[in-house]
């Protein structure tokens, strides 16, 4: 493309909240064969909410939620934030204040109710671990619990499977090395997601989903949105490998993601698209920034590229 054509496209893009960094990526975008979508925060709204909490020992639910919230208090992960918010609501609000939407911010943000934790660590793709009162607490997926030798009973496994089959993420909690309870977390699809996937297919583009979440939840979400090719339980570093595997036969690959987790994959892709406010790291690694946090702009970006180059030929 001529510098002028690139400038025009960049301007049109900017008017739609699509920031294009450089003419090379603009040219590559018209030849995209695969668009790989991150799941959480990209296809989904990234607004995780706890929809189920069950204790499998004699522990009181309030006590259970306080323990889990304390363990997640230093977590930066959206799942951790969702758990904290749910615990606060459960402990400090009654049904009527929830229904009327009145918020007592002082109570919401007071942190005195949390237990002191020590030796906190966040394990990417797994969960968190720390100690409360000298007892270890693990909050995360099966992998985290299995790696730490925690038994998962059939009753617990069945409950987790039930959550996952309805597109929810099951978070398991072991306190003092005993499986104590499970939380179910939902993150709804963006409203436009299915329409955009359908639109890409019509353009001859193959949509793919990649996620660190478990296979069953991933398949349920993919089915809902209309994606057939799914890669799940991918560790943060593995997303870039997924991108490279699609590039092997010379195909042009676009990656759409929002998180720090996604930046190596955004950088590895021929066309990296950071969506939403995103994290600075993701924006840095991307060729396109889709400011509106709307998946329709993936199509806008590809269209723009096709039109630009068509016009100057």
Interface residue with Mg ion among 72, 258, 270, 297 (CB under 5 A) is 258
Would you say 41 or 181 has its CB closer to Mg ion? 41
Closest CA to 289 of 265, 264, 266: 266
Report the distance separating Cα 246 and Cα 139, nearest Å. 33
Q: Is 249 considered catalytic here? A: no
Least distance (Å) from Mg ion to the CB of residue 89?
24
Q: Which residues fall within 8 angstroms of residue 237, CB to CB, at 6 or more apart? A: 264
Would you say 188 or 236 has its CB closer to ligand ADP? 236
Tell me how crowded residue 139 is: count the other CB atoms within 10 A of its CB. Answer: 28
Report the distance separating Cα 213 and Cα 164, nearest Å. 10
Query: Partners of 172 in the beta sheet?
Result: 140, 182
Assign 188 to helix, strand or coil.
coil
40 binds Mg ion (CB under 5 A): yes
187 binds Mg ion (CB under 5 A): no
In angstroms, what CA-CA distances link 213 with 125, 232, 245, 308? 8, 6, 20, 38
Partner whose binding site includes residue 167, from Mg ion, ligand ADP, none (CB under 5 to 8 Å by kind): none
With contact defined as beta carbons under 8 Å apart, do 206 and 305 qualify? no
With contact defined as beta carbons under 8 Å apart, do 84 and 74 qualify? no
Partner whose binding site includes residue 141, from ligand ADP, Mg ion, none (CB under 5 to 8 Å by kind): ligand ADP
213 binds Mg ion (CB under 5 A): no
Would you say 117 or 309 has its CB closer to ligand ADP? 117
Q: Tokens at residue 162, please?
A: 């039930």
Where does this chain bind ligand ADP (CB under 6 A)? 39-40, 72, 75, 77, 79-80, 122, 125-128, 139-141, 169, 171, 211-213, 236, 259, 261
Least distance (Å) from ligand ADP to the CB of residue 295?
16
Would you say 180 or 211 has its CB closer to Mg ion? 211
Partner whose binding site includes residue 79, from ligand ADP, Mg ion, none (CB under 5 to 8 Å by kind): ligand ADP
Report the distance separating Cα 64 and Cα 56, nearest Å. 10
Would you say 19 or 242 has its CB closer to ligand ADP? 242
**Residue numbers annotated as active site:** 38
Q: Which positions touch Mg ion (CB under 5 A)? A: 38, 40-41, 258-259
């Amino acid at each position: 493309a001529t510098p002028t054509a690139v400038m025009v496209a960049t301007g049109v893009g900017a008017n739609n909240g699509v920031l294009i960094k450089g003419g090379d990526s603009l040219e590559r975008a018209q030849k995209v064969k695969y668009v790989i979508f991150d799941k959480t925060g990209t296809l989904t709204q990234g607004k995780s909410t706890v929809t189920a909490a069950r204790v499998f020992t004699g522990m009181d639910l309030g006590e259970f939620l306080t323990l889990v919230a304390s363990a997640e208090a230093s977590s930066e992960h959206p799942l951790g934030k969702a758990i904290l918010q749910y615990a606060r609501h459960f402990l400090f609000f009654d049904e009527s204040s929830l229904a009327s939407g009145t918020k007592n911010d002082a109570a919401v943000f007071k942190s005195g109710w949390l237990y002191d934790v020590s030796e906190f660590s966040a394990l990417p793709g797994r969960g968190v671990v720390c100690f409360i009162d000298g007892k270890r607490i693990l909050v995360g997926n099966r992998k985290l619990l299995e790696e730490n030798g925690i038994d998962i009973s059939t009753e617990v496994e069945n409950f987790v499977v039930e959550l996952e089959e309805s597109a929810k993420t099951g978070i398991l909690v072991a306190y003092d090395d005993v499986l104590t309870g499970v939380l179910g977390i939902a993150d709804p699809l963006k409203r436009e997601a299915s329409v955009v996937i359908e639109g890409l297919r019509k353009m001859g583009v193959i949509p793919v989903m990649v996620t660190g979440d478990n296979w069953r939840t991933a398949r349920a979400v993919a089915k809902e949105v209309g994606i057939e090719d799914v890669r799940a339980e991918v560790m943060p570093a593995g997303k870039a490998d997924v991108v490279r595997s699609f590039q092997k036969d010379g195909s042009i690959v676009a990656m759409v993601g929002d998180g720090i987790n996604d930046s190596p994959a955004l950088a590895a892709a021929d066309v990296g698209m950071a969506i939403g406010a995103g994290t600075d790291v993701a924006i840095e690694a991307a060729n396109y920034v889709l400011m509106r946090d709307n998946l329709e702009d993936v199509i806008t970006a590809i269209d723009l590229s096709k039109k630009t180059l068509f016009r100057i030929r």
